[in-house]
Amino acid sequence: MKPINLILSSFSLAGAAISYEPSPRPVLLPSPYQPRVPFPYPLQRSGKLCIVNTHGDGVTDDSFSVLFALWDCNDGGHVLFPRGETYTIGTAMDLTFLRRIDIDIQGHIQFTNDIEYWQANSFRFGFQNVTSFFKLGGEDVWIYGGGTLYGNGQVWYDTYAKDIYTLRPVLIGIDGLRDSVFSDLNLRHSPQYFHFVANASNVVFNNINIGGGSLNENKAANSDGWDTYRSEDITIMKSVVDNGDDCVSLKPNSTNILLQSLTCTGSHGISIGSLGQYPSQHDIISSIHASNITMINSSNGARIKVWPDIPSPMSPDLQGGGGSGYVRNVTFEDFTLENVDYAIEITQCYGQKNLTLCREFPSRLRMEDIFFRGFKGTTSKKFEPLVAALACSSPTLCSNIQARDIDVVSPGGRRRQAYCLNVIEEDLDLECTSDFRGWS
């Protein structure tokens, strides 16, 4: 472990007068839909309160302070990061031991820009080069308080622009978390994804505010709001995202996911995938419901992206193709769109720019029972007059793909025109054309 200058940093104040007031636990009110399983609602913690101390200079590592408090108040306590305080994290932390704990973040938590250290010590997830500053797991964990987590992303954007093989940590890395809640948090300038949710079940994200792009010409690449992976019963609701990539992306083996009441600006939309990237993997997506979504100045409203059955280079650090699986029972409904490139996009040619080659090597991943309903708004000029693109690499791979009540207008006033390949036009409230204008 990296040597750091540490001081004792947690005060156990059971029954004692304190100067900082804990936040009340947030109330979760899902709307318009209820999740498949009830939200976790544990009793209020009756154990001690641990206030995390800080060096406060914005430089010295406070990681031991955080770990001390979490261990001290684990299994029934309440950890408080007081309002007005700044905490600096410079050490990778394994937090998969958490159980029955409230983590009340009212202050500001920032991660150091020591790229060399994080390259060597951040936690690796084994999927698409994902690493994280810390790994969060356990059960019955509530994290809230109105504070901010700051990823110090600009140094990572600048470094990635020079070396695309730089491993950039996600801001919140989850592995094996159950029956837990994140609410009332601000996330800023993540080096890569803001959340990577892996091997999790019954986790709720409520009232999360995500933002922060690059301050120069170096793009804040892969800044997804949420990515889910091998997880089930995840709810993301009542949140705001301003980023430059997927608002939410459902990666392989995401099931029973509810996304609702989200506003996404500058994003790539609500995405499923990419899928079928790894030849040895069988990817499953099922029982997905996305509702009441506002999408502004984005490349997509809703999309599904699947690799074909041929090696394809999206970029030198992201290649794939040849995997199998299915996407089943997915509903996108009540989307309001403003200046998006495509309202709806389905591609089984992800990463492969040669459409003819993609059709010669069709995907090994099936799609069935996919519903788009209640889309309204405007597209951009990028693919005018098209408002959508729906492409299956083979007619045997897609069944029951429906688009109904689609009231989306391109800038030229053309309604409901779409590029269609191997889909049934009668199931679409769209005017199909073979005039392909490209992928978003």
C-alpha span between 323 and 306 (Å, rounded):
9
3-state secondary structure the chain: CCCCCCCCCEEECCCCCCCCCCCCCCCCCCCCCCCCCCCCCCCCCCCCEEEECCCCCCCCCCHHHHHHHHHHHCCCCEEEECCCCEEEECCCEEECCCEEEEEEECCEEEECCCHHHHHHHCEECCCCCCEECEEEEEEEEEEECCCEEECCHHHHHHHHHHCCCCCCEECEEEEEEEEEEEEEEEEECCCCCCEEEECCEEEEEEEEEEECCCCCCCCCCCCCCEEEECEEEEEEEEEEEECCCCCEEECCCEEEEEEEEEEEECCCCEEEEEECCCCCCEEEEEEEEEEEEEEECCCEEEEEEECCCCCEEEECCEEECCCEEEEEEEEEEEEEEEEECEEEEEECCCCCCCHHHHHHCCCEEEEEEEEEEEEEEEECCCCCCCCEEEECCCCCCEEEEEEEEEEEECCCCCECEEEEECCCHHHECCEEECCCCCCC
* Tens digits of residue pLDDT in 318-375: 888 999 999 999 999 999 999 999 999 999 989 888 878 888 889 999 999 999 999 9
- Check pLDDT > 50 for residue 282: yes
For residues 147-165, give the mean pLDDT: 96
Greater confidence, 413 or 224? 224
Q: Are 267 and 298 in contact (CB under 8 A)?
A: yes
For residues 256-261, give the mean pLDDT: 98
The predicted pLDDT at position 19 comes to: 52
The predicted pLDDT at position 311 comes to: 86
* Tokens (6 digits) for 112: 């150091």
Greater confidence, 193 or 312? 193
**Percent of the chain surpassing pLDDT 90:** 83
DSSP string, 213-240: --SSSS--TT--SEEEESEEEEEEEEEE
Task: State the chain's mean pLDDT as an integer.
Answer: 93
For residues 185-203, give the mean pLDDT: 98
* Tens digits of residue pLDDT in 162-181: 999 999 999 999 999 999 99
- Residue 183 — pLDDT band, cuts 50, 70, 90? very high
Q: Note if 268 is an active site residue.
A: yes
- Check pLDDT > 60 for residue 5: no
For domain 10-433, which architecture applies?
A: 3 Solenoid (2.160)
- Check pLDDT > 50 for residue 13: no
* Tokens (6 digits) for 34: 């209820």
The predicted pLDDT at position 162 comes to: 96
- Residue 100 — pLDDT band, cuts 50, 70, 90? very high
The predicted pLDDT at position 51 comes to: 96
- Check pLDDT > 50 for residue 6: no
Q: Is 136 helix (H, G, I), strand (E, B) or coil?
A: strand
Name the pTM for this structure: 0.94
Residue tagged active-site, from 78, 189, 195, 268: 268
Q: Which residues of 117-137 are buried (b: 16+ CB within 10 A; e: fewer)?
A: ebeebbbebebbbbbbbbbbb
The predicted pLDDT at position 128 comes to: 85
- Residue 276 — pLDDT band, cuts 50, 70, 90? very high
For residues 373-396, give the mean pLDDT: 95
Residue 70, classified by CB atoms within 10 Å of its CB into exposed (0-12), middle (13-18) or buried (19+), is buried
Q: What pairing do the DSSP bridges indicate for beta strands 99-105 and 270-275?
A: unpaired
